[in-house]
Chain A
Amino acid sequence: MIKHDVVVIGGGLAGMRAAVEAAEAGADVAIVSKMHPVRSHSGAAQGGINAALGNREEDTPEAHAFDTIKGSDYLGDQDAVEAMCEDAPHQLIWLEHRGCIFSRMPDGRIAQRPFGGAGTPRTCYSADVTGLVILHTLWEQLERFGVKVYEEYFCTALAIDNGIGTGVVAYNMRNGELEQIAAKATIFATGGAGRMYLKTTNGYASTADGMGIAYKAGIPLMDMEFMQFHPTTLKENGVLMTEGARGEGAYLLNAQGERFMFKYAPNKGELASRDVVSRAEWTEILEGRGVDGCVLLDMRHLGREKILERLPQIRELALDATGKDAVNEPIPILPGAHYTMGGIETDKWGATRVPGVYAAGECACVSVHGANRLGGNSLLETIVFGSRSAKHAIDYIKKIGDVVPSDKTLRAEQERVRTLLGRSGGTRAPKLRHAMNETMSANTFIFRDEQGLSKAVQDLDRVRKEFDSNVYVMDKSKTFNTDLVSAFETDFLIDVAQALAKGALERKESRGAQARTDFPERDDANWMKHTLAWRQADGSPRLDYSRGVTITKFQPEVRSY
């Protein structure tokens, strides 16, 4: 049996930051990841990371916190938001001291750019590859500390014995064996669930693994109905065009060539928060002012030099996918599924309700993003809460003795794999995934109503039943069986989609990313509370609203940009 004090599931930014924090403290820590850490989707983050460094204009963590809370449509827990914003400048400098390649101002300090929903230019960046440079910096620190990485191990289940987390079970993709990995503390850092949708900025690997594992193990998911639709994604393949483009001054145009955003956000225009911009775009498209089902992202006036210096990646991505060069012509874009504000319920230290089990980054819901995340806050969340969860875990493991997991989880997982590989026919996971994608994109997109959401709940129930009784894995090999891994991933995605659809159906108000056409107003009297979803035996969620929103000093106000 593999054994470590701290095991981190996932090798993206949150996971590696947690592992480095633990390694620096001298703990025995390992990462379990379904791919090599530098392959993680954190690397696709483009625009930047927020911190009130005040390098361009005066700024404070408090101003950052206010913008974040307003952005969250007052659903974010304010104590957690404050903790994140206060830690942000320190974490940025920590990254810089470890060699992160940030873009610089002429005087040599870290450069900052404006981002949506922010009062000042607060977003630190490296051209439009910010996620990649931070990913590399953290991977370098893994190398420095010699952190053990169980690479291409797919975690399938969380072990809980006598009410505390005792590690995980993981499927070694190289030889097809399930292995028990014992840990005093387990930190999930597995990223988001964008693959619930047909069109998403998320890569193939963003399949809700940690969320699904925790949920199946009896830990609630929180605020799943809040799915962020990024305003600028490519029609052809859903690939992200960074908010940094608008931060640098790009326009959004409709078919008439009008900068329509000022109709919806008179002060901020294109730099309103993402939910506002996505709704505005979709309204333009629905009302017939779109161009082939898109609106246009126009960067031409920025000039060739600025585009090549600050936005080279998205220029090339758009060129590859559409054949259009952003230097010379506007790029057709539309909103696409991007970020899962909800996730595994944690406190402001990343701790779940089960001692020894933590979550950090996109898979967690602390909640710092509430009903809508601001651009530049996701990378920050990974770094701050990766670090904080590891700190808490290190204190925790000092207090408990050795953990000895029973073999019940391993045996259950072995049985699960035997069943999956034993079937000689049925419905393949890609088919089920497609059925889920279709109903999610049709019924739980930017504008929602009771009819569509009820249909999504029913469709997903059917998909769940078909999966449980009849899913068929075609590949029987023990070597790198991605057909089997895809079945696991689909299982997790269906779970999370069910929680999302039910949560959206029951939340009878519009707040942040949840826009109900049948309940168009925010309802603070009844809905200043989080949605907790508990998994029931048949896979459907049981909802519970016992967790209120923590307010410190920012009372809910009318939100306009």
Chain B
Amino acid sequence: MAKIKLDLFRFDEAVDTVPHRDLVEVEVPETTTVLDALEWAKAEVDGSISFRRSCRSAICGSCSMNINGITGLACKTNCKDVIKADGSISVDPMPNFQPMKDMVVHMDPFWDKYSRLKPYLQPKDADTDHATERRVSPEDMKKLVAVANCVMCATCYALCPVVSVDPAFAGPAAIAYAYRFIEDVRDGQRGERIAQISEDYLWLCAHCYACSYCPKHVDPNDRIIDVKRAAISDKVMMGERGPRHALTVSKTIKQTGMLAETEVVLGTVGRFNVIAQIKVLPLALRLMSRGKLTPFEMATGGTAPMLGLPSIKPIPKVDEVRTIFESLEVPV
């Protein structure tokens, strides 16, 4: 048996204006999970400690919370792996959500992101023949398996820095769920779904890989890349800034071996979109004030792409970079 101090976030939205913390000592087997430790604390010490939980085997997705500052499933986190040197474990609600009580948060914004997907199969055919199953190859079905393992625990959503600055962003879980339908050969709404998720700020994802910390190995980060690739290969909403940004970044690196920032800005907002270009002028001025851009570069960077020329000189071994691009079959 081990003695563990749980350092708990405490808050009740009905009565508290600010949260406080409680230190609760629990006595549990050393191999116990954080969820078991919380259960023990609730049963033996303070019945008002509140958290969601159900299956305790990482399949219901209820018990995502912050453990020592990192979001994860309490039922899948072993105390001995996270206990601090002073014998304590801090437990807080997931970030990016409004707390309701202790570790229980308001989940509605998260579910709304799914509802916007129209998250149900919309078959190609009229779907009247129920005599037999649709044939789907094992390979086509396997593409969906990783996402099928998603338990909607919202760990990725809580970890996502883009959600924290722009709550309109669909977030990793919903984009992965969109992928589940986009790649389903039985579905007839692939283009509409890609367009919908693009409108829900698919391209805001900064690929920071925070969401690669997924307790179920769904790897939403990779699914987001897959959806972006699908958008590009299907040429859906290519006029939007997101895909233009991605393509220009690829193009300048392929052409020059370097990131041509001014060209990327122009490629993203539109080469002939003077109004948008004026709007990004403050950015250019800020870059100049910090020494990241000289007025000369700005002038050449701005004019050369308009003439269809690279704004900077290719690096000496640019051929090697191009070989990498070709071997990866990047669609530029």
- A residues contacting B by CB (< 8 A) are 35-36, 38-41, 43-44, 53, 90, 92-94, 96-99, 101-111, 126-127, 129, 132-133, 136, 140-141, 143-144, 174-176, 203-205, 236-237, 239-240, 313, 316-317, 320, 428, 430, 473-483, 486
Contact = CB atoms under 8 A, between A and B. Distances in A.
A144 B120 contact: yes
Contacts of A92: 133
Contacts, number: 167
Contacts of B144: 101
B119 to A, nearest CB: 5
A235 B323 CA distance: 54
Interface in B4-19: 12-15
A127 B147 CA distance: 13
B149 interface: yes
20 contacts: A43-B60, A53-B133, A90-B130, A96-B134, A99-B120, A101-B141, A101-B144, A104-B137, A107-B135, A108-B138, A132-B148, A141-B120, A144-B118, A237-B57, A430-B42, A475-B50, A479-B101, A480-B100, A482-B42, A483-B42
A104 B121 contact: no
A39 B107 CA distance: 13
Contacts of B50: 475, 479-482
Given A98-B121, A99-B186, A430-B43, A44 B145 contact: no
A428 B40 CA distance: 13
Contacts of B298: none
B98 interface: no
How big is chain B's contact interface, by range?
35 or more
B30 to A, nearest CB: 12
Contact of A479 (B13, B42, B151, B186): B13
Contact of A320 (B42, B76, B134): B76
Interface in B179-207: 181, 184, 186-187
B287 interface: no
B165 to A, nearest CB: 26
A207 to B, nearest CB: 11
Nearest to A106: B138
B266 to A, nearest CB: 41
Contacts of A476: 48
Given A41-B60, A101-B141, 11 more contacts: A39-B62, A98-B120, A103-B141, A105-B138, A106-B138, A110-B133, A132-B148, A136-B148, A477-B14, A479-B13, A479-B15
A453 to B, nearest CB: 28
B307 interface: no
B241 interface: no
A119 to B, nearest CB: 22
A102 B141 contact: yes
B111 interface: yes
Nearest to B130: A93
A320 B60 contact: no
A313 B121 CA distance: 25
A313 B115 CA distance: 27
A378 to B, nearest CB: 16
A205 B55 CA distance: 7
A44 B121 contact: no
Contacts of B137: 104, 106, 108
A43 B114 contact: no
Interface string B94-120: 000000110010010001001100111
B127 interface: yes
B47 A473 contact: yes
B322 interface: no
* Minimum-distance CB pairs A-B, first 3: A108-B135, A99-B121, A474-B47
Contacts of B59: 43-44, 129, 132, 313
A54 B74 CA distance: 42
Contacts of B123: 97
B60 A40 contact: yes
Contacts of A101: 141, 144-145, 148
Contacts of A144: 118, 120
Contacts of B152: 38
A473 to B, nearest CB: 7
B60 A126 contact: no
Contacts of B265: none
Nearest to B139: A104
Nearest to A131: B59
B320 interface: no
A99 B56 contact: no
B101 A93 contact: no
Contacts of B141: 101-104
B197 to A, nearest CB: 16
B136 A35 contact: no
A473 B46 CA distance: 10
Contacts of A40: 54, 60
Interface string B223-254: 00000000000000000000000000000000
Contacts of A481: 48, 50
Contact of B54 (A39, A136, A486): A39
Contacts of A132: 59, 148-149, 151
B289 interface: no
A295 B48 CA distance: 40
A129 B137 CA distance: 19
B53 A204 contact: yes
A203 B120 contact: no
Nearest to A90: B130
Given A39-B54, A41-B54, A44-B59, A143 B120 contact: yes
B143 to A, nearest CB: 10
Nearest to A236: B31
B52 interface: yes
Contacts of A483: 42, 47-48
A159 to B, nearest CB: 27
A38 B54 CA distance: 11
A133 B150 CA distance: 10
A106 B136 CA distance: 9
B61 interface: yes
A100 B275 CA distance: 48
B130 A44 contact: no
Given A40-B60, A428-B43, A479-B100, A104 B127 contact: no
Interface string B18-57: 0000000000000100000000001110111011111111
Contacts of B135: 107-109
Contacts of B12: 477, 479
